[in-house]
Amino acid sequence: MKTMTCRQFGGPCDLAHRGETADDVIKAQDQHLKDAEKAGDTTHFAARKEMKGRWLHPKKSMGWYREMKQTFADLPES
């Protein structure tokens, strides 16, 4: 298991997501941003907007996706 925080995804807080793969933690971050939006948390608004844009433009977002996968791969197991 590895841990990646909301901040490592470009978000505003230090909430940690744990997962076996990069996809797991990306999904957890996506859910976290959705929950924050639902809760009316404006500090996560920009990050949520960016994440939404990524799903709409998957090709343009490949760079970001690779970067997140690389960041995850470089993390120590915990």
Residues that bind Zn ion (CB under 5 A): 6, 11, 13, 15
- Cβ pair 12, 19 in contact under 8 A: no
Whose Cβ is closer to Zn ion: residue 4's or residue 22's?
A: 4
Cβ at position 59, least distance to Zn ion in Å: 26
* Residue 53 one-letter amino acid: G
Residue number closest to Zn ion, CB atom: 6
Beta bridge partners of 13: none
Nearer to Zn ion, 46 or 62 (CB): 46
Give, for 36, the enclosing helix (H) or strand (E).
helix 22-38
